[in-house]
Amino acid sequence: MTIADRSRVDLRDVLRTTCAASPVEAIDVMADGLATLTGATYVQFLITNVTHRAVVRFAGSNANAARVQEENGDIAVLPLRGTLYEQVLRRQRIVRLDEGGGERILVPVTESGDALGVIDLHLPRDADELVFADIAAVAEALARVVVASRRHSDLMDWAQDTSPFSLAAEIQRRLLPGSYTCETDRFTVAGWLEPANAVGGDTFDYSLYRDTLHLSVTDAVGNDVNAALLASVLLGSLRNSRRRGADLAAQARIANDALAAHANVGQFVTGQLARLDLHTGVMTFVNAGHPFPYLTRDGQVREIELDIDMPFGLYPGRELRVRRLQLEPGDRVVLMTDGMLERNAEDLDLPGMLSSSAGAHPRELVYELAETVLHATGGDLNDDATVLCLDWRGGPDEPDRPDREE
């Protein structure tokens, strides 16, 4: 499409053309379509890189940025801190700037709470209500296009990987969920993993079913490929049994036996598994040698003191105990690995940080916690630092929940 076609183009045309495009061209096609639809002089899509500390120019309407970068082996990486892009992504708000007879508009591209990037466009005039609505609709659709296109190509991974990964880091990253954030009317969950210099085998995971949310945080002993392989066995077993309908106790037992069958002497994984009933707000936990999670309720932060069983993989045939907690609307639960508590960050006041950041979105909380630990250690993490945050808002079934029990 070209600007000359604008009078014959509407939002449906842009979406139809995008859906018909190759997965590696779809984002460029959508950028071209948005420029034609709105009369923008330029449209850029910037995707967050793997660290979420920078954005990468991935596609554009009047310069095939992704193709040019791919051919030249060059990626335009823009650090986020202190930029307009940071405001858009962190606060999830649209920024509009008067540019003397025209307008620059920056719009977050977000899918179910997961901040994927920013649309940056310039109009030769101020946007009216219709144009502004079209821009917002394309941003919503673009988030889905990014997610769908990633299934078919490494192109977006290539753009986001602005630093080379070791084999261990590549294995570890593939164990993480496809989206680090999930947001619904009843809850928001967000995770973050800050890798050590030598990958420590941490993972976090979540999966949403119709009536339940499954969560896990795990930490494999050792470093690099061996730790990543241990994590692969454990997490693979947890996902396999979860998908076959096993309850939390059975998932823990099956995963322990699987790891015990494949691990060498002295190899194990600590972990915390949790399951949230989305109708009642009842959360159940299994703790296999792992640091306690934190609960923030009514402005007060405390540890959730769970029964502690031995780590996964030491002995087969064990049953791990299940603990139950009734969540209240407004509760926040934070799970983490011991990398968040490592020796050279031992002066950090985690309860104080959780209390002072009670109003932060979980997506921002997990990132800021990791940033704080990274700063406290001078960027020299001895172990992976992983955190998973759940905000519970409750819902219509709350009045019928069982009596509170811990």
Domain holding 144: CATH number? 3.30.450.40
Nearest to 235 by CA among 166, 169, 171: 171
Separation of alpha carbons 259 and 380, rounded Å: 30
Nearest to 299 by CA among 369, 365, 351, 335: 351
Each residue of 364-392: b (16+ CB within 10 Å) or e?
A: bbbbbbbebbeeebeeebbbbbbbbbbbb
Same domain (yes/no): 191, 248: yes
* Mean pLDDT estimate for the chain: 87
Q: How confident is the model at residue 297 (pLDDT cuts 50, 70, 90)?
A: very high
CATH code of the domain containing 278: 3.60.40.10
Q: How confident is the model at residue 374 (pLDDT cuts 50, 70, 90)?
A: confident
Q: Residue 373 falls within a domain, yes or no? A: yes
Q: What is the pLDDT of residue 343?
A: 56
Q: Residue 319 falls within a domain, yes or no? A: yes
Q: How confident is the model at residue 382 (pLDDT cuts 50, 70, 90)?
A: confident
Q: How confident is the model at residue 401 (pLDDT cuts 50, 70, 90)?
A: low
Q: Residue 258 falls within a domain, yes or no? A: yes
Q: What is the dihedral of CA 82, 87, 91, 95, to 10 degrees?
A: 170
Q: What is the pLDDT of residue 346?
A: 61
Separation of alpha carbons 254 and 238, rounded Å: 8
Contact of 71 with 41, CB cutoff 8 Å: no
Count Cα neighbours of 136 within 13 Å in the Cβ-side half-sphere.
Answer: 12
Same domain (yes/no): 98, 221: no
Condensed to tens digits (0 to 9), the pLDDT of residues 176-203 reads 999 999 999 999 999 999 888 777 799 9
Boundary of a domain, candidates 159, 194, 229: 159
Condensed to tens digits (0 to 9), the pLDDT of residues 218-263 reads 999 988 899 999 999 999 999 999 999 999 999 999 999 999 999 8
Q: What is the pLDDT of residue 322?
A: 97
pTM of the model: 0.87
Q: Residue 406 falls within a domain, yes or no? A: no
Same domain (yes/no): 116, 184: no
Predicted confidence (pLDDT) at residue 279 exceeds the cutoff of 60 = yes
More confidently predicted of 169 and 63:
169
Q: What is the pLDDT of residue 398?
A: 54
Tally of domains in the chain = 2
Same domain (yes/no): 109, 244: no
Lowest-confidence region among 20-29, 89-98, 258-267, 371-380: 371-380
Q: Residue 53 falls within a domain, yes or no? A: yes
Q: Residue 39 falls within a domain, yes or no? A: yes
Same domain (yes/no): 110, 208: no
Cβ-in-10-Å burial (0-12, 13-18, 19+) of 67 comes to middle
Boundary of a domain, candidates 132, 159, 186: 159
Predicted confidence (pLDDT) at residue 42 exceeds the cutoff of 50 = yes
**HEC states along 26-70?**
HHHHHHHHHHHHHCCCEEEEEEECCCCCEEEEEEECCCCHHHHHH
More confidently predicted of 263 and 389:
389
Same domain (yes/no): 292, 357: yes
Same domain (yes/no): 31, 154: yes
Q: Residue 405 falls within a domain, yes or no? A: no
Q: Which two tokens stand for residue 26?
A: 């779809």
Nearest to 148 by CA among 103, 118, 111: 111
Same domain (yes/no): 218, 181: yes
Three-state DSSP state, 209: coil
Predicted confidence (pLDDT) at residue 406 exceeds the cutoff of 60 = no
Boundary of a domain, candidates 159, 185, 218: 159
Same domain (yes/no): 126, 254: no
Same domain (yes/no): 367, 272: yes
- In order of 237, 245, 288, 314, the CA distances from 260 in angstroms are 12, 22, 14, 6
Share of the chain above pLDDT 90, in %: 65
Neighbours of 405 (CB within 10 A): 8
Q: How confident is the model at residue 59 (pLDDT cuts 50, 70, 90)?
A: confident
Q: Residue 58 falls within a domain, yes or no? A: yes
Q: What is the pLDDT of residue 383?
A: 84
**Which residues form the domain of 41?**
3-159
Q: What is the pLDDT of residue 51?
A: 83
Same domain (yes/no): 367, 231: yes
- Which residue carries 């050279």 as its tokens? 344
Q: What is the mean pLDDT of residues 321-334?
A: 97
Predicted confidence (pLDDT) at residue 399 exceeds the cutoff of 60 = no
Predicted confidence (pLDDT) at residue 163 exceeds the cutoff of 80 = no
Predicted confidence (pLDDT) at residue 4 exceeds the cutoff of 70 = no
Q: What is the pLDDT of residue 72?
A: 37
More confidently predicted of 16 and 74:
16
Q: What is the mean pLDDT of residues 104-119?
A: 95
Q: How confident is the model at residue 8 (pLDDT cuts 50, 70, 90)?
A: low
Q: What is the mean pLDDT of residues 102-122?
A: 94
Separation of alpha carbons 391 and 334, rounded Å: 9
